A = this chain, B = another copy of it.
Amino acid sequence: MAPAMETGRGPDRATLKDVAALAGVHPGTASRAINVDTRDLVNEETARRVLAAADELGYRPNPIARGLKTSRSYTVGVLIPDLTNPLFPRIVRGIQDKLEESGYIPLIANTDNDPARERADIEAMRARQVDGLITATAHRHDDLAIDGAGGELPVVLVNRRHEQGTRPSVVADDRLGVRLAIEHLVALGHRRIAHLAGPQDLSTGYLRLQGYREALADAGIEYDDELVLAADAFVEEEGQRLCNELLDRGLEVTAIFAGNDLMALGCYDAFVARGIVCPDQISVVGFNDMPFAAWFDPPLTTVHLPQYEIGERAAELLLERLRDPAAEPTQMLLEPTLAVRGSTAPPAG
């Protein structure tokens, strides 16, 4: 009978026991020597020997085993609405890179803004013992999963602030971003500025509309309800639909501030269909500065968000939280800038 059942896979990985044997110490000691924050419990010389042995064997601790004991997985869940939305890859990249520095790795799930999916994703993540959660799902009224199912998990919010302020978060300053956009248009001479707002149940959609009203007021322009339409989703189709609706009203409008870049693109579509030339006849400003916005026709003037940095900061906040769960929940506000390109110009006439 053959030995059979080679359970392990691959060229048997060195285990702590192997290292210990090679170094001539007990596995427990080896463990202490290898783990930096217990290293000073062992003799310096011994530690050196263990480290050398580990190095020689190419030892890599097994996070699974470690996790079983410590109930840590060195894994964090990242919830985003949709990876193919151009806003997210950079944020995610920022998260990944920062986590990686500390030996963590993200588990990424797309919720499609569907609460059911979101719940399922969170469940799958908890099952995998994620140590924390970063969520970029932007519902404004989040009685749903997150804080609840997140349970005792450290959570950091991205792209949306926790209204009670009890969770750490990192968001771009939407109000400021809007202000920059509006001020730019006003400086160009625009007074009739429409706003195609995002969904009002998403915090970004909501805040930008608020910002729009404020900025208008500060510029001494009266708010006109007729000039504001709210979308069902942050997508091109909605931008196009709303833009058409707006133009159909036959109002005098010289500029449009779109809820995000995708919606701005929808405006472009509407213009093309109607033979309207942007920016000659009408100006458009977007939001997010999605990749390649500079190559659009015309190049899109838009509010630039430090997306990568947003991701990095979020990861940092979470790591901090993991180290000290009792830390004060930091609310981080990142500053947007305005990328002025070809879709804005002084009003015609």
Contact = CB atoms under 8 A, between A and B. Distances in A.
Contact of A107 (B105, B151, B292, B297): B105
A105 B109 contact: yes
Nearest to A297: B297
Interface stretch (A22-30, A124-132, A199-207): A124-132
A309 to B, nearest CB: 14
Contacts of A108: 96, 106, 108
Contacts of A86: 86, 89, 291-292
Interface in A91-116: 92-93, 96-97, 100, 103, 105-110
A189 interface: no
B296 A153 contact: no
B110 A295 contact: no
A227 B127 CA distance: 56
Interface residues of A, number: 56
Nearest to A129: B64
Given A127-B63, A129-B64, A268-B295, A109 B96 contact: yes
Contacts of A103: 124
A306 interface: no
A64 B68 contact: yes
B295 A265 contact: yes
Contact of A124 (B65, B105, B107, B292): B105
Given A9-B71, A107-B105, A291-B86, A62 B127 contact: yes
Contacts of A92: 83
Interface string A67-86: 11001010100000011101
A64 B129 CA distance: 8
B10 A127 contact: no
Given A9-B151, A127-B63, A128-B64, A93 B89 contact: no
A90 interface: yes
A345 to B, nearest CB: 16
A346 interface: no
A103 B299 CA distance: 43
A48 interface: no
A73 to B, nearest CB: 6
Contacts of A152: 9-11
Contacts of A13: 126
A275 interface: no
B128 A75 contact: yes
A73 B84 contact: no
Contacts of A62: 68, 127, 129
A329 to B, nearest CB: 18
A128 B63 contact: yes
Which of A11, A71, A268: most chain B Cβ within 10 A?
A: A71
A298 interface: yes
Interface string A172-208: 0000000000000000000000000000000000000
16 contacts: A9-B152, A10-B126, A10-B152, A62-B68, A63-B128, A84-B90, A84-B291, A86-B86, A103-B124, A105-B124, A106-B107, A108-B108, A265-B295, A292-B292, A295-B297, A297-B298
Given A10-B151, A64-B68, 7 more contacts: A10-B153, A63-B127, A86-B291, A93-B110, A96-B110, A105-B107, A292-B296
